[in-house]
Structure 1
Amino acid sequence: MRSDLLRFADWSSPVRPVARELSSALPDGDEGRPPLLFVPGLGHGPWAFTEHWLGHAARRGFPAHAVGLRERGDLRAYAHDVVQTAASLPRQAVLIGHGAGALVVSRALARYPARAGVLVAPVLDGWAGLGAALRANPLGTLPAIVGGALRLSRRQLFSPELPVEQADAYRGRLVPAGARAQWQLLAHRAAPRPVGSPPVLVVGSPDDRVVPRAALDRTAARFGAAPLLFPGMGHDLMLDAGWAEPIDAILDWLGKELPPTTP
Structure 2
Amino acid sequence: MSDLLRFEDWSDPVPPAEREVISRLPGGDRLSEGDRERPPLLFVSGHGAWVFAEHWLGHAAGRGFPAYAVTPRPGGDPRAQVHDVVQVAASLPRQAVLVGHGAGGRVVARALGRYPARAAVLVAPALDGWAALGAALRSNPAGTVPALLGGRPRFSARQLFGPEFPAEQAAAHVERIGVRPRAELFGRTSLPEPAGGPPTLVVGTPDDRVVSRPALDRAAARYGGAPLLFPGMGHLLMLETDWAEPIDAILDWLDKELPH
Match of 1:121 in 2: 124
Q: Does 1:101 align with 2:100?
A: no
CA distance, structure 1, for counterparts of residue 124 and residue 183 of structure 2:
21
- CA-to-partner distance for each residue in 1:174-199, whole Å, 9 max, x for gaps? 132234434xx33222x110000000
The number of residue pairs the alignment matches comes to 254
SS at 2:59's partner residue? helix
Deviation at 1:153, TM superposition (A): 1.1
Match of 2:41 in 1: 36
Match of 2:74 in 1: 71
Could you say if the C-alpha distance between residues 126 and 71 of structure 1 is closer, same or farther in structure 2, counting changes exceeding 3 Å? closer
Q: How does 1:10-89 map to 2 (within 5 A)?
A: 10-28=9-27, 29=32, 30-31=34-35, 32-41=37-46, 44-89=47-92
Which of 1 and 2 has higher RCO (CA within 8 Å, sep 6+)? 1
**AA in 2 matched with 1:37:** L
Match of 2:200 in 1: 200
Q: Does 1:144 align with 2:147?
A: yes
CA distance, structure 1, for counterparts of residue 21 and residue 11 of structure 2:
28
Q: Structure 1 residue runs of 4+, over 4 Å off?
A: none
Q: How does 1:213-252 map to 2 (within 5 A)?
A: 213-252=213-252
SS at 2:162's partner residue? coil
CA distance, structure 2, for counterparts of residue 162 and residue 69 of structure 1:
27
Match of 1:187 in 2: 188
72-81 or 215-224: which moved more?
Answer: 72-81
> Can you give the 5+ residue segments of structure 1 that lack an aligned partner in the other structure?
none
> Can you give the 5+ residue segments of structure 2 that lack an aligned partner in the other structure?
none
SS at 1:173's partner residue? helix
CA distance, structure 1, for counterparts of residue 245 and residue 187 of structure 2:
30
199-208 or 71-80: which moved more?
Answer: 71-80
Contact 1:159 1:241 in 2 (8 A): no
Contact 1:126 1:187 in 2 (8 A): yes
**AA in 2 matched with 1:198:** P
Q: Does 1:209 align with 2:212?
A: no
Contact 2:135 2:212 in 1 (8 A): yes
91-100 or 140-149: which moved more?
Answer: 140-149
SS at 2:74's partner residue? coil
**AA in 1 matched with 2:16:** P
Deviation at 1:110, TM superposition (A): 0.5
**AA in 2 matched with 1:177:** R
**AA in 1 matched with 2:61:** A
Query: How high is the sequence identity, in percent, across the aligned residues?
Result: 67
78-87 or 160-169: which moved more?
Answer: 160-169
Deviation at 1:73, TM superposition (A): 4.3
Match of 1:6 in 2: 5
CA distance, structure 2, for counterparts of residue 173 and residue 194 of structure 1:
33
- CA-to-partner distance for each residue in 1:82-138, whole Å, 9 max, x for gaps? 000000000000000000000000011100010001000000012112111111111
Superposed CA RMSD in Å reads: 1.2
CA distance, structure 1, for counterparts of residue 3 and residue 26 of structure 2:
36
CA distance, structure 2, for counterparts of residue 91 and residue 134 of structure 1:
41
Contact 2:154 2:178 in 1 (8 A): no
Contact 1:35 1:89 in 2 (8 A): yes
Could you say if the C-alpha distance between residues 207 and 180 of structure 1 is closer, same or farther in structure 2, counting changes exceeding 3 Å? closer
